Structure formats: structure tokens, C-alpha cells
A and B are shown apart, each in its own frame.
Chain A
Amino acid sequence: MNKEKSLKKSRSRVGTNIFLMIVAILVLVPLWYLLNNAFKTPQAMMLEPLIIRPQTFTFANIARAFKIMNYPKLLLNNVIILVISCSFLVVLGSFAGYAINISNNKAIKNLYIFIVLIMTLPFQLAMIPLVSMLKSMNLMDSFFGTSLVFTAWSLPFVIFLYTGYMKTIPKELLEASIVDGCGLFKTYVYIYMPLLKTITGTVLILRGVHIWNDLLIPLVTITKSSMSTLSLKLYSFASTRITAWDLVFGGTLLVVIPIMVLFLSLQKVFIQGIVAGAVKG
């Protein structure tokens, strides 16, 4: 009886694994297709889209896309926007979370509820006046302006994450440090900041990836080609050359590479970060 049961169990485990393996392969197919064709001559793409041979292997697509897209400049632009927005997000988000946790003030609690509620509003609702506001503030075509928009639209979610996480830090720590004569600011710096590493990692992963990849905000706030981000450039680059498959594949792969490298080296951190965010959410 027992034997039969364990046999059944192991059989179902094999079935599960086979099913999951098929799902994993299906998910990988589009990525493999991109990788496989980015390194092929255009003729080979037409004749043999499914396989890659040493005779048709080439770096030419990548090299040409690299040059036409002005890739190093774009990468730098992306990094600048990412660094400014993420610094703002971490500092202001954790400040706000701290504020919500140290005070019993009703107005602050209500503000928190308000901030959580507006998370559901779509960016399109603010887009058009925002562009004219940015123009009048001289923040159009400025990395700083774009970063501020990213920050403002990510802050509700980030405040939500920080507030939730700080709730799990025992209030006694706060009381003790105040009794010991630490001010509220010092308590933040010496007690809370070191405890926030995990959630800061989650915030950086969740929002960082989003900011790095977003198309709509750069599309409406950046018009200068020299200030373009990777996503924005890929869009304008590839949509005008959709018949030039070699360049589109090459350009797309170039945009994927940084995040692929980062993910492969930090895989565990990524998944843990998402799980932490999911549990807090």
C-alpha cells in the first residue's frame, strides 16, 4: 500500500517536472530566437531562421547597431536617470515610511491611505499637463526632470513598501533610543537605516528595473536624440528599420545585454527581492 503510494508520488513528480520543463522551454524560445538571429547574416535569417551555423555567424549586426544607436552614450544616459531616481526614491521613500511609523497623528495616517490609494491611477491621466508643466519649469529634456517624474510616480509604491517593512521593526527600539537621548533623526540614521537593507534592495530591484525599462515617460519628457534612453532609442531606431531585421535583432540584443548580465550575476537577489516585495505587498 505504502509502496504503491510512494510510486504514485514519484511518478507524479516526474510528470510535474516534465510539464514545468516544457513551460520553461516555451518561455525561453523567444529569447533563444533573439540570441540566435542577432548573430546571423541577413541572408541566413531568411533561409534558416531556426538554426545557427559557424559559416553564417557574425558580429556585424551588433557592431552596426552599436554604432548607429550611439550605444555607450545611451547606456550612460540610462545610468544617470536610474541613479538620480533611485537615490531620491530610497531617501524620500524611507523618510516617509519612518514618518508614518513614528507618529500617531491622524492627518499623517490619512495621508498614508491617500498615497496607497493613488497607486492605481494611470500615468496617462497626468501626462499632458505634466509635459507643459515641465516645459515651463525648464525641466523638459533634462535628466533631472525625467528622474523627478519617475520618482514621483514610483514614490507611492515605495512608501507603501517601506511603511509595511518598518511596521515589523519593534517600536521598543525607537522608544529605547529616544530614552537614551537620540533625537528622531539620529534614531533614523543609527537604528533604522541599518535595518532597512533588505527592503531597500527590494525597492531598488522592483523600481530600478521599471525605471531602466520604461518607454512612456522618456517618450514624453525627452525629445533630444542625444539624451535618449535605451528603450526610447530602440523604439525609434527599430521602428524605422523594421524591414532591416539584422539591425533590429542586433539593437534589441544590445538593449537586453546589460539586464541579462545583471540578472545572471544576481539571480538569487532578484528573486528574493521580488518575494520580499510580494509578501509585504
Chain B
Amino acid sequence: MIKKTSKNTNIAMSRIGKIKKKKSILEKQRDRTAFVFLLPALILILVFFITPIILSLRFSFTNWDGISKEYNFIGLNNFKYVVNDACFGRILLNTLYLMIIYVPVLNILAIVIAALIVNVKNKIGNFYKSVLFFPNLLSMTVVGFIWKLMYDYNNGLINTVFRKLKLDFLVQDWIGAKNLVIPSVAASIIWFALGYFLIIYIAGMMSIPIQLYEAADVEGATRAQKFFNVTLPLLAPSITINVVLSTMGIIATFDLPFVLTGGGPGYLSETLALKVYHYAFTNFQQGPALALAVILGIIAILIAFLELKILLKREDIY
């Protein structure tokens, strides 16, 4: 009797074992299929994304000219060259200045306009969304030229309007004057990008439970109070995404500043993103270009990391 039971248990045990094994085979098969499905994307990313970045890191320590197969390691010389370049400080400051104007102005404008659009009737709200979003569909090259024409000293729209209104003291050389060129570049990029960030904020606001607003109404909150005490805290995740996205965007933005000012006049609006291109494809100095690209990458990652740290902490408070 006892023997029989143990035999039965044994059979049962072995069956369970088999089932377990079978399941793990299934899972293994699933993993294998998953790898096959993932492989083409991985190969493309590996070949055209990761490999050149690794090569950049490597070649930034060499005197490689971008073409030949021969090169020597020269340590930090490229980095030294870049940092000692007379305009390096200017370029770094320009990049940060552009970022410091662009990110807050863009995000505050987008949040305020989004809050207003959420409050109007659906149909007219969609009209505003479409109008404000449209510039985002244009290429930055086009936006660059449109604004180059807008900012033109003699015939540009802005100066013409000021002259017509007899406000001659407001007539400025918008992209030629020292203190104006970076704000002007920032303004045109804000014109371009506003719609995109606006729509992310609107989506974020739509996901805030309406009961919270109703509760606030019962308490007799004003519109401003509702905005500061309900909307803004609950919008924290959207703010985090948008601030990081807009910072990453502005640090690497190339097309529009390249077309609008090309970094000029002099180095007054040259940014890191532009300078990498100028080193590599205007001056044919591959080493410094690579070193500056690496510096650009490190700055981008550092700032994103810092922002995430601060913004996620802020999300936790609420």
C-alpha cells in the first residue's frame, strides 16, 4: 500500500516535472522568438547609432583626419585644442544662454496657453490647437528662412511695422546685434516648437480628474487658485517630460540656428551643435570636431540627469 502510494506520487512528481520542463521550453522558445523579432532593429541601432558613437569616443583621442586609415593616439590634445580655442567660452555661454531663455519661456507659455485652451469650447479649442501646432510641421530650414526674412533690417516685417507706426526707436538689427541675436534665435524656435509642447500639456491637463476641479469650485476657489493648486501640481509628470525634452532639443538643435544666423555675426550666436559641424565640415578639423561632439554629449546627458533629479523630486512632493 505504502509502496503503491509512493509509486503514484513518483509518477505524479515526474509528471509535474515534465509540465514544468515543458513550460520552460515554451518560455525559452518565446524568448528565442522575441530575440528574432528584436534583432533587425538592434542591428540597425548597433551599426548606425551605437558604433559611430563608440568610434567618436575613441577617435576623439586620436589625430584621425576622417578619411585615412592611419591615426595616432594623442591623448587629450583635441580636447585641449577645443577648450583653448579663443571662442570656446563664448560658444558654451551661447549654448547655455539659449537654453536658459528657451526652456522656461517655452514651457511657461505652453502651460498658460494650454490652460486657457482647455477652458474654451471644444470646436474653437481645436481651431487654436491647429493654428498653434502648424509651425511645428514646417522644416526648421523653412522656419529659419521665414524668420530671416522677418528679422531683416531693411525690409523685414518687424522693422517695417515699427517704422510704419513711427516707433523708430524699436527698429533693431535683430540677428545682427550683440545682445539681440540669441533671444531672436530663441524666439523663432519657440514659434516653431510651441504647438508640440502645448499639445502634450493639453493631454496632461485632460487627464486630471474633473472631480478635483469640482471640489475646488465647492470650496469657492478662483480660477487662479485652481490653476496653482490643482492644475500645476498634477501636471508635474508632463512638466518633467517637456522640460527634459525641450532641453535636449535645444542643446542639439542645428537646422534653425544654422540657417538663421549660421552662428554669426562673428561667434555671437555660435552654439556647440553648430560648432561641431563647422569644425568637421567647414574647417575639416575632425579631431576637434569629435572632441567637441563628446563634450556636447556629456553636457546634454549631465543637464538631462540634473533636471530629472530635480523634477522627479518635485513630483514626489505632491
The answer to whether the Cβ of B117 comes within 8 Å of any Cβ in the partner chain is yes
Contacts of B280 in A (CB 8 A): 127-128
CB-CB contacts below 8 Å: A156-215 with B: 156, 159, 184-185, 188, 209, 212-215
Bound complex: CA A182 to CA B119 (Å)? 49
**Which A-chain residue is minimally distant from B290 (CB atoms)?**
A128
Bound complex: CA A93 to CA B55 (Å)? 25
A152 B297 Cβ-Cβ under 8 A: no
Q: How many residues of A contact B (CB 8 A)?
A: 93
Known contacts A27-B194, A125-B297, A234-B141; decide if A279 and B203 are in contact (CB<8 Å).
Answer: yes
A213 B138 Cβ-Cβ under 8 A: yes
Contacts of B207 in A (CB 8 A): 279
A263 B134 Cβ-Cβ under 8 A: yes
Tally the A-B contacts, defined by beta carbons under 8 Å.
269
**Which A-chain residue is minimally distant from B150 (CB atoms)?**
A30
Bound complex: CA A212 to CA B223 (Å)? 41
| Chain A interface, DSSP helix/strand/loop, else mixed | helix
| Chain B interface, DSSP helix/strand/loop, else mixed | helix
**Which B-chain residue is minimally distant from A89 (CB atoms)?**
B41
Bound complex: CA A248 to CA B53 (Å)? 36
Residue A124 contacts which of B55, B194, B293 (CB distance < 8 angstroms)? B293
Interface size class of B (residues with CB under 8 A): 35 or more
Bound complex: CA A50 to CA B42 (Å)? 53
**Which B-chain residue is minimally distant from A123 (CB atoms)?**
B252
Residue B41 contacts which of A93, A105, A231 (CB distance < 8 angstroms)? A93
Distance in Å from the Cβ of B15 to the closest Cβ of chain A? 20
Contacts of B241 in A (CB 8 A): 281
Q: Mark A220-258, 1 if CB is under 8 A from B, else 0.
A: 100000000011101100110010010011001001100
The answer to whether the Cβ of A60 comes within 8 Å of any Cβ in the partner chain is no
Bound complex: CA A132 to CA B56 (Å)? 11
Additional A-B contact list (14), CB under 8 Å, known A133-B47, A133-B52: A13-B120, A16-B116, A120-B244, A120-B248, A120-B300, A124-B277, A125-B294, A133-B55, A155-B44, A213-B138, A215-B258, A216-B254, A234-B139, A274-B200
Question: What are 5 contact pairs spanning A and B, CB under 8 A?
Answer: A118-B45, A118-B50, A129-B59, A188-B37, A234-B141
